[in-house]
Every structure is written in structure tokens, then in C-alpha cells.
Structure 1
């Protein structure tokens, strides 16, 4: 598989995030998960003196935030199976809520139980003693959200109940770490001028999206961080494999591609999100975490020299206009929204929406 590293570490720009979001043409407010703890989860760059900042808007009298909390991690059937999760109502998600009758379904996919190199053995297997909440050899078992509990030898999902125990499709007990490179450029007309959205008047930002083969949903290119692999290398590798089909290129093509990628991945970037992801593969004992990083091609010149071609786990790849109507895999729409806000780009056609009690929410 293609491997590469970022040429340098650059200063991370500070980001102000408003955590309240509302669904378009809705009479009530919607909570944007997983950004409910962005102040704690967004990354700090060792090369920078700036922390990311978070400012949560109040949601007075709006719909209970728990209704959209941990939502995709409770959907049935479980991906790639006919397994129905035990139903977990909103008021029973939190582990602090007592629920003596909770009876989750046990499920780990055969593809995981077959023992591929990217998967852990079952708990209790001889010579398998995972060090949870620690760096376990080359395997990172620390959570980006902090300490998580372990009960009866199994780690417990830090966000709450999902209706399934075991690992499902996930290889690792506990956190499964991914990297999501979010590559953007401005939409331009035939004369090279930025295109503004007619409703908001803001310039339209585009990002590279792939259509996942496993579920058919559009998503940010990305994938799992290999044991011992640096995040910077994983971001670049996943982008080249899924959006540029690097695995099928000749050595000469790979060399030229690497030159262009080095230009892109050595520019200023910022960490959009770092932490738990509301993913349909999550279980009570295994869950997805990611670090989403935005690399922006301001002039568009770098990406002009890179031919998009779907590869690896991607069925299709294309540039997509960013806006609030985007429907993306897992929590990817949340990440894209933050990038649009950071770049001052178009996102929402209506800048002010109103809760059902008449309270105005600023976008």
C-alpha cells in the first residue's frame, strides 16, 4: 500500500465552532452530534500556540438534544447483516441510567472472527491480554475522548448503549482509529472566478467525496490507521488509495502523484474534529473514532494536476458542492459544515432559523 509522510508540521489555525444546528424547514432544533464536546476533543497542535475554541449556543426550549445523540449507532439492521439491535430509547442511552432489563444482542461478524491481522482475538483467548486505555505495543487503545470503563474484561462505549455487544464489523475492542482527509477548493467559473451561491452570496466550497462500496453512501475519503502508522501518513495514504486509485498505478505514475500530493499535504491545514464518531458499526464494546483534517487548495492549481479515480473501497469519486442539503455517511456532514464555516463559504440558504418557541438561532 502507498505510504507517505507530511513534509512539515504547520501552525494550526484556531477555529470557533457553534455547536447548535437546526434542520432546514424544521419546527424544532436539531443537535449536531458528535460535536457536543468539541472543546475537549478538537486537537491541539504541538507546533502552535493556539488551541481550538468552542462556543456552544444555548438551546432553550428546543427539542431534547438526546433525540439525535448516538443515533446511527442504534440503527437496525446492523450493517452487512440481518441482526436487529435491541431497542435503546433516548432516555436509556446513558450508562448512568439504570436499566436492569437491558438485553443487548451479541454479534461479531465472521470476517472479524476469522482472525485477520487488523482484528483482535476474542476476549478470554489465551495469550491475549489487551491493555485498554493505553498504547498497547503498536496498537493504540487510548480513546481521543479520554478514559473509558472496562467491565468484565470488555471496554464500554463511552457515549452509551447501542443494543449490540461484541465487535460487529470492527476489528478492535474499544476505540478503532480512523483518518479522514477532507480536501477542498473553491468552485470557479470558466474565467477562474469564484462562484457565489445566489441565496447566501457566499462563495461555494467543494470537497472530494467518494461513494462507499459497502453501503452506497457518499463520504469523505478515509480509513483505518494501521498499527504504528503516523496519522499524517494515514491521511495521505487513504486519500491516494481511495480518490486517486494509487494501488493500481505504475511506479512512474506513483512518483508523479507523490510530487503533487506533497504540494497539497504540505500546505496549511487544520484539524476539523478529533474524537468519537456516531457510526452505524459501533457496538457497546467497539466504536469508531477519527481525526478529520482539512487540506485546502486555495487556487485549485494542485488538484488540476491530479486525476480523480475511485479505488480501494470507493465506487465513485467526484468534487461535490458543499451545502446544508448534503447527505453523507456517519458524521461526515458535520465535519464538512465546520470546514465551510472556517473558510467563510456557503452552507445554509437561510441564515436565521427559529425554534418552535420563537427563539431565534443564529447560524
Structure 2
């Protein structure tokens, strides 16, 4: 068998430049690599196919131009008293030989209790990494990741902590982040412009996370077998509108508004690795962030915001470069602001 790169879609997907130095393409068709032979692969060049050596493409490591993850190396692991093994910037990449590396092993008690959203320990089951394993997607947006001693290695490098921490899955843990925006309007429903940049001000729905107290984009994990589009809609409804706790009559109204907004083609802001403080050497967060914009302010904007179970508070927040948000959410919003020619 050979590694075949083939086109899997015919519609253009808008890709954004990312913080981590990933390629920037303004309009590209999706390409899906699948692994087979360790010695050669088949690629298409113009109208011809040719074999090339795969010795250099079996694993995708952090490109030299990418910034090392920072939050994933934060000293104290969230929700615990566990301190990571310190990892300097020049030792993050797995390709750097570092015999003294001795990561702290930690998996949170909540994960060890084997809830339905978590994997068992390695040894008690044999997951198929870099593949869709039953209903669980263990592929990475970063490409093929390394597996050593039966455990996956974080494609962005060392974190100072092994195990799964607070994350349920070995390898990539897939999430979806809906970025819902509207224009800031004055009393006469005219756009409000920033006094310095002279650009219109965007607002987005933000929640305060209960687990860490930081403001963030409302989002959550993609359930096994679930379409990302459904995750985006479900997470926004549950976290920002508390749809699970409202009367059925109101729930139908909310569902109608949300479906109308989310049925429009959203702007894909980002798809890839997230520099999340919960990441470990063997488990990490990846997300698809999509912007859904209420241009006229007469859709989701008219619905009352109400924090769900995972959110302490929820409100509309002005987009601005001074925002200090969870993980790399500020970077996602910067892309949205520039795309919509708004103040940042």
C-alpha cells in the first residue's frame, strides 16, 4: 500500500494564518493524507503521479518557524497542586536530544474514574492512533503524530507533564469554538466607531469559565461521531443561552434563531492545535473555530444571554487587542476583527 494524497472536497475552504506558523492559503481545496507504507508514497504533480520517499514525512513535528507552546508549559497544572518539569524554549521540540528530561506523570482523579468521555489507561485497551478509531477521531489537524511505547507524543513538543492530566483522550482531544459576533450599535442602531482606530467595533459572546475564572469563547468537546457543525450549535446554545434549563416553549424559539444563524456559511477562523494549559506530552487540545456573524443585529443579538453549567457568566464583549482570554482565543478574535475590517 502507499500513502495517497487525494482531494476530498470541491468547495473552497477559507484558511487563516495562525499563530504557530502554519501555511496560509486564501482559498484551497481540502487534502487528506492517509498513512500506509513507511518507505514511499504516491503524490500527484500536475496530471502525473510519482513515488517519493516518506522518511521525512511520516511524522509532522513543530516547524522551526512556529512559536513554542507557552500555556501548555505553565508551571502549575490547572486544578491541581502538580508542578510541571520545567521545559525551556530550546528544549520543547522532540527532535532536540535531552537525556535529563523527566516529566511529571499526572492524570486527574476525575479521568481515572473512567467516565464515558475518557479513555482507559494504555495497556487495558489498544487505541488506533492517527485514525478514526471506531467513533473516536484520533487523527490530528497537525498531521501524523509520533507514537512511542504505545503512547502518542504531543506534536508541538514537550510540556513537562506526561499522562492525560484533565483530558479524557490519549492524543488529540477535539473541540469546537463558535465565535458569535455583532456590530456594536448606538441608540439609533448606527455602528459605533473606535475613537482611535476609526474602525467599527465588533462584539462577541464571551463566557467566564467556571474551572479557571478566565473569559473565553463558548465551546466544548466534539462527541464521538458528532459533526463539528452540530457541536458548534450545541455548545453555544448550552453555554451562552443555557438552553437545557429553559422552558420548552422558549427553547423552540432559541433553536429557531440559532439554527438560522448557524445554517449560514460561517468563516472558519482556525483549525489546529490549541496552546491549552491542560495539554500534556500525551494528550492535547485541538479545535475548529468558526465565526458566525449577526450582521443586522436582529438574530441571536435579540436573545437573552444566560450562562450554562460550564459558564460562570456570559456577556457581549467589545473586541480589542487588550483582551486577555483563555488559551489562544485572543488570536482567534484578532483574525475575526481583521477579516471583518473591525477595530482591534
TM-score (norm 2): 0.84
Measure, in 2, the Cα distance between the counterparts of 1:91 and 1:117: 38
Displacement after TM superposition at 1:218 (Å): 0.2
Matched, 1:37 2:22: yes
Measure, in 2, the Cα distance between the counterparts of 1:143 and 1:42: 21
Measure, in 2, the Cα distance between the counterparts of 1:241 and 1:142: 27
Q: How many residues align?
A: 304
Measure, in 1, the Cα distance between the counterparts of 2:266 and 2:193: 23
Task: Write out aligned runs for 1:238-257 (5 A).
Answer: 238-257=235-254
Displacement after TM superposition at 1:65 (Å): 7.0
Displacement after TM superposition at 1:268 (Å): 3.0
Q: Is the 8 A contact 2:21 2:65 kept in 1?
A: no
Q: Is the 8 A contact 1:160 1:284 kept in 2?
A: yes
Secondary structure at the counterpart of residue 311 of structure 1: coil
Q: Is the 8 A contact 1:260 1:305 kept in 2?
A: no
Paired residue for 1:124? 123
Paired residue for 1:299? 296
1:144 corresponds to which of 141, 145, 160: 141
Paired residue for 2:90? 91
| Higher relative contact order (CA closer than 8 Å, sequence separation 6+) | 1
Paired residue for 2:171? 174
Displacement after TM superposition at 1:121 (Å): 0.3
Task: Check 1:108–1:14 CA distance in 2 against 1; reply closer, same or farther (3 A cut).
Answer: closer
Displacement after TM superposition at 1:222 (Å): 0.2
TM-score (norm 1): 0.80
The superposition leaves residues 298-351 of structure 1 with CA deviations (integer Å, 9 ceiling, x where unpaired) of 01100243110001200000000001000000010000000000000011xxxx
Matched, 1:202 2:199: yes
Paired residue for 1:49? none
Task: Write out aligned runs for 1:208-287 (5 A).
Answer: 208-287=205-284
Measure, in 2, the Cα distance between the counterparts of 1:323 and 1:329: 15
Secondary structure at the counterpart of residue 289 of structure 2: strand
Task: Write out aligned runs for 1:317-356 (5 A).
Answer: 317-347=314-344
Paired residue for 2:3? none
Secondary structure at the counterpart of residue 345 of structure 1: coil
Displacement after TM superposition at 1:12 (Å): 6.1
Displacement after TM superposition at 1:262 (Å): 1.4
The superposition leaves residues 3-62 of structure 1 with CA deviations (integer Å, 9 ceiling, x where unpaired) of xxxxxxxx7674664x6xxxxxxxxxxxxx3x421538998579xxxxxxxxxxxxxxxx
Secondary structure at the counterpart of residue 254 of structure 2: helix
Q: Is the 8 A contact 1:43 1:274 kept in 2?
A: no
Secondary structure at the counterpart of residue 22 of structure 2: helix
Displacement after TM superposition at 1:199 (Å): 0.5
Measure, in 1, the Cα distance between the counterparts of 2:225 and 2:15: 29
Paired residue for 1:22? none
Secondary structure at the counterpart of residue 24 of structure 2: helix
Q: Is the 8 A contact 2:276 2:327 kept in 1?
A: yes
Measure, in 2, the Cα distance between the counterparts of 1:238 and 1:285: 26
Task: Check 1:304–1:229 CA distance in 2 against 1; reply closer, same or farther (3 A cut).
Answer: same
Measure, in 1, the Cα distance between the counterparts of 2:223 and 2:14: 28
The superposition leaves residues 43-102 of structure 1 with CA deviations (integer Å, 9 ceiling, x where unpaired) of 8579xxxxxxxxxxxxxxxxx977x52000000210000000000000000000000110
Task: Check 1:327–1:301 CA distance in 2 against 1; reply closer, same or farther (3 A cut).
Answer: same
Measure, in 1, the Cα distance between the counterparts of 2:316 and 2:241: 13
CA RMSD, aligned part only?
Answer: 2.2
Measure, in 2, the Cα distance between the counterparts of 1:337 and 1:233: 25
Measure, in 2, the Cα distance between the counterparts of 1:85 and 1:340: 35
Matched, 1:315 2:300: no
Task: Check 1:290–1:342 CA distance in 2 against 1; reply closer, same or farther (3 A cut).
Answer: same
The superposition leaves residues 144-184 of structure 1 with CA deviations (integer Å, 9 ceiling, x where unpaired) of 11100000000000000000000000000000000000000
